[in-house]
Amino acid sequence: MIHCITPDEAAALLKDGDMVLAGGNGGSGVPEAVFEAIERRWLAGDGPHGITLFHITGVGALTEKGLCHFAHKGLVRRVVGGNFGMQLPFMKLVLDQELEAYNFPQGVMTHLCRAMAGRQPGVLTHVGLETYMDPRQDGGRMNARTTEKLVELVNIGGKDYLFYKAPGVPSVALIRGTSADEDGYVSMEHEATAREDLSMAQAVHNAGGTVICQVKRLVKRGTLNPHMVKIPGFLIDHFVVQPDQMQTYTTQYDPARSGETIVPSSSIPPDPMDARRVVARRAAFELRPRDVVNLGVGISAMIPNVAAEEGIDEMITLTVESGAVGGVPGHAREFGTSVNPRVILDQSYQFDFYDGGGLSCAFLSFAQVDRHGNVNVTKFGKRYDGAGGFINITQNTQRLVFNGSLTGGDFDIGVADGGLDIRRDGKFKKFVPEVDQISFSGHLARERGQRVTFITDRAVFEMEADGIVLTEIAPGVRLQEDVLDQIGFPIRISDTLKTMDARIFRLGPMGMRDAFMAQAPRHIEVPEA
């Protein structure tokens, strides 16, 4: 029989100095009841102190939930994570030098779980070269307090690689599933993501530590479908049963996100017609039949809505880092999940595919672009979000489309009469002479022959051998005042400068299906590692 305990009893098992593997992906698969109990214990003055926290990516809901429960000075000594954008109180501890902090690519993080399970010393990969992960830059260290080098540059067979060291011996795993049977076998039939919970459990079990799993319900022995079982019972020491656990931070339970039902794409409401949707609509013209696509956060996550409206969504396959393949990826607090997924892979397998160059194209966002074609999405202003899956994707996909507004901060831009109406521009420029941090290397992209496009609300740019080139401008936009003056460096204008298609700026479908179907499928060329 399995051993069930309360959330507070689970929290009491953590000891000073433990290395904790914290499950969850964004707002899905989070053992929230256990996280809440750990915070209650801390606030009661009962520790634990100085733990090392290892998490894959973005576990939180901005100012609450997830890793926000760990955002207390002294509770965490060191954090190693893939993204911090959804846990702002914890990010503040990093920026205030209150703990040691490392940010590694999301794919590296999930592969480190596998490495720790097999007692391997770390992960060797080309991912991160010539970015802030490279020890010739920051080596993934997020603040001045963080001094130990966990990333090494190595050369094998004349090629450079990065070696990401396993950050320690894990002693506690906090993971989640849907059902546990009488022998502790865990299934995930109501989960929207599969994550790397198995690898976390294996890593801690093999190190002699404690594995705690939060589940929704207990069921009889032998009633679980073996194909749905993700974690064998002998790996788990304790269970916390929470019948009301939410599927994501905004959804109690949606069977269309766990693949148990299918809803028509017409039931997904369109996004409002604004400057952001203009970018997503223009980006949709870069799709081709049979593309296998990754979509980033922000504006790029709005592209599926456009594809559905244009009737081309069934001709492409959309994927997200967390493992969903097919369907319509969610955005905002549902990011990382999909409605109507065809399959939900373990995250580590998704990144095997990404790192190997399997994607046809990828659509991502940007915070800064510089004259060299470098892109920063990780560190800007008072934020240090970290990479998530951005570096894995951008370094290994031949066709890249970066989407965003040309300026940022409190702009007022309308869409009317088939064009753009710029009533007030943003407070700061996003095309700058030098980015604050290199998340994507323009030099490496040119060296590998990647094709890179930047789509903004008012103009489209291409990265060429001699720099960034302006190729399209929106109807109703002034070239000098609205575009060139908003860029922080001289830019070349294409000899064949075009006006962006006016359909992009009008309400209703653009009628792009016929032209889309007439295109030949994309030939995938894998960038040289």
Torsion sign over Cα 344, 346, 349, 351:
positive
* Domain that includes residue 412, residue range: 270-517
Do 235 and 274 belong to one domain? no
Does residue 522 belong to any structural domain of this protein? no
Do 236 and 345 belong to one domain? no
Do 128 and 224 belong to one domain? yes
Nearest Cα to 389, choosing from 111, 182, 148, 119? 111
The number of folded domains in the chain is 2
Which one is catalytic: 321, 434, 447, 464? Answer: 321
Q: Which letter does DSSP use for residue 481 in this model?
A: I
Give, for 210, the enclosing helix (H) or strand (E): strand 210-215
Do 234 and 299 belong to one domain? no
Do 390 and 464 belong to one domain? yes
Does residue 178 belong to any structural domain of this protein? yes
The pTM assigned to this predicted structure is 0.96
Do 77 and 215 belong to one domain? yes
pLDDT at 346: 96
Residue 521: helix, strand or coil by DSSP?
A: coil
Do 227 and 321 belong to one domain? no
Does residue 20 belong to any structural domain of this protein? yes
Q: For residue range 502-526, list pLDDT tens digits in order.
A: 999 999 999 999 999 999 898 777 6
286 is catalytic: no
pLDDT at 92: 96
Do 207 and 64 belong to one domain? yes
pLDDT at 419: 86
Q: Which letter does DSSP use for residue 404 in this model?
A: -
Q: What percent of the chain has pLDDT over 90?
A: 89
Final residue before a domain boundary, out of 241, 256, 282: 241
CATH number assigned to the domain comprising residue 274: 3.40.1080.10
Does residue 398 belong to any structural domain of this protein? yes
Report in angstroms the alpha-carbon separations of 463 from 299, 484, 494.
20, 16, 12
159-165 and 428-429: which strand pairing? unpaired
Residue 10: helix, strand or coil by DSSP?
A: helix
Q: For residue range 395-426, list pLDDT tens digits in order.
A: 999 999 999 999 998 899 999 878 898 999 99
338-339 and 412-416: which strand pairing? unpaired
CB proximity list for 352: less than 8 A, separation 6 or greater = none
pLDDT at 526: 66
Does residue 46 belong to any structural domain of this protein? yes
Q: For the chain, what's the residue count? A: 529
Q: Do 279 and 273 meet the contact criterion of CB atoms below 8 Å apart? A: no
Do 288 and 338 belong to one domain? yes
pLDDT at 34: 99
Do 319 and 388 belong to one domain? yes
Do 97 and 16 belong to one domain? yes
Do 178 and 303 belong to one domain? no
pLDDT at 378: 97
d(CA 18, CA 342): 38
Longest CA–CA separation in the chain, Å: 74
Does residue 247 belong to any structural domain of this protein? no
Residue ranges of the chain with pLDDT lower than 50? none
